Amino acid sequence: MVQQQENTASGTEKVWFITGSSRGFGRVWTEAALQRGDKVAATARNVESLADLKAKYGDRVLTLALDVTNPEQVKSAVESAHAHFGRLDIVFNNAGYSLVGTIEEASADNIRALYDTNVLGPVSVIQAALPLLRRQGKGHILGTSSSLGHVTYPVIGYYCSTKWAFEAIYESLAAEVKQFGIDVTIIEPGAYATEFGSQESLKFAASLPVYNDFKAAFVGNLRTIERGNPEATPEAIFSVVDAPNPPLRLFLGSHTLPEVRKAYAQRLATWEAWEAVSNAAQG
């Protein structure tokens, strides 16, 4: 409460636009921003899931129905939030879900739907926000990726691929918009005890019996992974959005860097072992 009063009194509050505010990290970060005295345009497919935020935080929160796969609705929501608050300081792409299924099992429709939400949805938000942020001459675009934007697991390979695509888009974006005074940061959580594993956040491809044992073993291994506390993450997010020179990437959790360091060491070892073959192909 002290932090909230200080932010409001000093006029240093930030204005956020957050997708996927109804549950998981989106909910945690939306409430944390409001609790510290910031203002938030909180969005979700079902706006009724945000009613308690409106009741608790009043005019400091604007709740909007938003399906990120609908570009027209995205544009309308971003522009409405900007008009309502007069500016947007932080645009945070957080909405997404995971597809469970091997590479063979997932259908083209499964994959298209996943990319519509996890890749094209964030792009729609970015494209809607950029004209407004350019006119402001400042802004910070954040996005929730994953440690799986650097490593891959079987059975959720298509989900991993959306995060690799997300990372590439954000990295290119950072170089393109730096000239306009706009910062870009990719948030990369490891395993956390959120609702991400719930039925609302997972979709399943049709199953082929030949993979049943493999998938059962994979799911069993996932259950043994130590999961972080999502309520411990807001201060890390605030450190990034309040930094004068925010990083392009930020891991959340203590297990991600060792895993990624190992993966990149293995890649470098392979490339170096085959360096002579690669060099000979130069011609």
Closest CA to 52 of 78, 34, 79: 34
Q: Which of 22, 57, 124, 159 is catalytic?
A: 159
State yes or no: is 163 an active-site residue. Answer: yes
Closest CA to 90 of 28, 51, 149, 41: 41
State yes or no: is 158 an active-site residue. Answer: no
Length reported for the chain: 283
Q: Which of 22, 145, 147, 161 is catalytic?
A: 145
Q: Which of 21, 163, 170, 192 is catalytic?
A: 163
For every residue of the chain, which 3-state class applies, written as one string? CHHHHHHHHHCCCCEEEECCCCCHHHHHHHHHHHHCCCEEEEEECCHHHHHHHHHHHHHHEEEEECCCCCHHHHHHHHHHHHHHHCCCCEEEECCCCEEECCCCCCCHHHHHHHHHHHHHHHHHHHHHHHHHHHHHCCEEEEEECCHHHCCCCCCCHHHHHHHHHHHHHHHHHHHHHHHHCEEEEEEEECCECCHHHCCCCEEECCCCHHHHHHHHHHHHHHHCCCCECHHHCHHHHHHHHCCCCCCCEEEECCCHHHHHHHHHHHHHHHHHHCHHHHHHCCC
**143 is written with which tokens?**
């996005």
State yes or no: is 278 an active-site residue. Answer: no
What is the rounded end-to-end Cα distance, in angstroms, of the chain? 66
Residues belonging to the active site:
145, 159, 163
